[in-house]
């Protein structure tokens, strides 16, 4: 068993809407409502869910980009939320984030080389006269040409910009990267290039990723372990093969059957879920999925199912499994 890099225990993050002009509504949005998982060293952990499931909130909270409401996040055995200022700075060198939109995550007034080199200098990892050399090294690793170093972000296409963002994240040699929908904005042919780059970087540097995505086919390709989220909870978590070959939760099954397959001869049973995702301000009682679940009963209305291990690290939260 390899060591745990990141342990999340019963993490909760509520956004309160009780301030300001909407005071009278006073409800909180339960973006993340009691989530537990572990990411081991060298693992690519996939977090899948539809909009509003809380997957991005988890990504930001575990890196302490905002506060938690409750629960525990341990990075390399240390509680992320009780780090001293110095230790927190240290955490920032070990972890990095890559966002979905490469157009808004680069400063338009910073040359590519400066954007990539900034963090190295800031954290004192290289001396000023070594920066350019190191930047060029990282750029080459990420498939950028040396002459790109003095250009500005607007001169690049979406795929190239995502390479710049990745190079910026890789520049300080992090151990753990949170990727929030990093290929969702890219075209298929460019998406494949970037996904291969992720695999290469991961293999060469022994990195661990938290890969947040709504695209099950990308997650299956890249990840080793996958968690499926619905309205702030993990409904199922399992190693990749297990999850795709033997999905247990009705939501996972529906999600898998809803993904269009590029093969017109493929015959399969499609489960079409009724209705919309309920609002996280006022989620259904009991099991949150029950309003759309084809097998929901009275028990699901009354009681939320336990999140438990069904064996072999296959976790699921459903009364009927």
Partner 1 sequence: MNEMLLQVNHLQTNFYTENGVVKAVNDVSFAIREGETVCIVGESGCGKSITALSLMQLIPENGKVEGGEINFSGKNLLKLNKKDVRRLRGNEIGMIFQEPMTSLNPVFTIGEQMIEPIQEHLLLSKKDAYKKAMDLITMLGIPNAEKIVNLYPHELSGGMLQRIMIAIALSCNPKLIIADEPTTALDVTIQAQILDLLREIKKDFNTSILLITHDLGVVAEMADYVVVMYAGKVVEEGPVLELFKNPQHPYTKGLLKAKPVIGERKDRLYTISGQVPNLVDLQEACYFADRCEHAMDICRMKQPALTQMAKGQKAACWLYEDGENR
Point out which residues bind partner 1 (CB under 8 A). 50-51, 157-160, 187-193, 195-196, 199, 214, 216-218, 220-221, 244, 254-266, 270, 272-273, 276-277, 292
Rank residues 259 and 299 by Cβ distance to partner 1 and give the closer one.
Answer: 259
Please tell me the distance from the alpha carbon of residue 7 to that of residue 246, in angstroms, as a whole number. 25
Q: How far is the CB of 130 from partner 1 (least distance, A)?
A: 31
Please tell me the distance from the alpha carbon of residue 106 to that of residue 110, in angstroms, as a whole number. 8
Q: How far is the CB of 201 from partner 1 (least distance, A)?
A: 13
Q: How far is the CB of 52 from partner 1 (least distance, A)?
A: 9
The token pair at 259 is 């993904």
Q: Distance of alpha carbon 304 from its chain centroid, rounded? A: 25
* Contact (CB, 8 A) for 21 and 46: no
Rank residues 68 and 225 by Cβ distance to partner 1 and give the closer one.
Answer: 225
The position carrying tokens 């060298």 is: 42
Please tell me the distance from the alpha carbon of residue 157 to that of residue 40, in angstroms, as a whole number. 34
Q: How far is the CB of 271 from partner 1 (least distance, A)?
A: 8
Q: How far is the CB of 44 from partner 1 (least distance, A)?
A: 14
Rank residues 74 and 195 by Cβ distance to partner 1 and give the closer one.
Answer: 195
Please tell me the distance from the alpha carbon of residue 61 to that of residue 169, in angstroms, as a whole number. 18
Rank residues 82 and 265 by Cβ distance to partner 1 and give the closer one.
Answer: 265
Q: What is the DSSP string of 200-236?
A: HHHHHHT-EEEEEES-HHHHHHH-SEEEEEETTEEEE
Rank residues 58 and 63 by Cβ distance to partner 1 and give the closer one.
Answer: 58
């Amino acid at each position: 068993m390899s060591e745990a890099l990141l342990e999340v225990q019963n993490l909760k993050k509520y956004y309160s809407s009780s301030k300001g002009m909407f005071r009278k509504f006073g409800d909180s949005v339960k973006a993340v409502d009691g989530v537990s998982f572990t990411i081991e060293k060298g693992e690519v952990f996939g977090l899948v869910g539809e909009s509003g499931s809380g997957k991005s909130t988890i990504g930001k909270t575990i890196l302490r980009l905002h506060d938690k409401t409750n629960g525990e996040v341990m990075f390399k055995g240390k509680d992320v939320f009780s780090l001293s200022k110095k230790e927190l700075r240290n955490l920032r060198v070990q972890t990095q984030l890559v966002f979905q939109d490469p157009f808004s995550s680069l400063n338009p007034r910073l040359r590519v080389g400066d954007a990539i080199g900034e963090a190295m200098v800031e954290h004192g990892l290289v001396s000023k006269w070594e920066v350019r050399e190191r930047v060029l090294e990282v750029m080459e690793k990420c498939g950028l040409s040396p002459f790109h170093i003095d250009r500005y972000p607007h001169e690049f296409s979406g795929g190239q910009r995502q390479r710049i963002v990745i190079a910026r994240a890789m520049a300080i040699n992090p151990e753990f990267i949170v990727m929030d929908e990093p290929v969702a904005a890219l075209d298929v042919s460019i998406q494949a290039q970037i996904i291969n780059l992720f695999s290469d970087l991961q293999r060469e540097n022994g990195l661990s990723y938290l890969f947040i995505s709504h695209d099950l086919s990308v997650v299956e390709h890249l990840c080793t372990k996958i968690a499926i989220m619905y309205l702030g909870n993990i409904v199922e978590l399992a190693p990749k093969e297990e999850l795709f070959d033997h999905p247990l939760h009705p939501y996972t099954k529906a999600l898998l059957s809803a993904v269009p397959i590029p093969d017109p001869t493929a015959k399969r049973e499609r489960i079409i879920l009724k209705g919309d995702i309920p609002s996280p301000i006022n989620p259904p009682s009991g099991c949150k999925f029950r309003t759309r679940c084809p097998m929901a009963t009275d028990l699901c209305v009354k009681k939320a199912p336990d999140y438990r291990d069904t064996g072999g690290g296959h976790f699921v939260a459903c009364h009927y499994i």
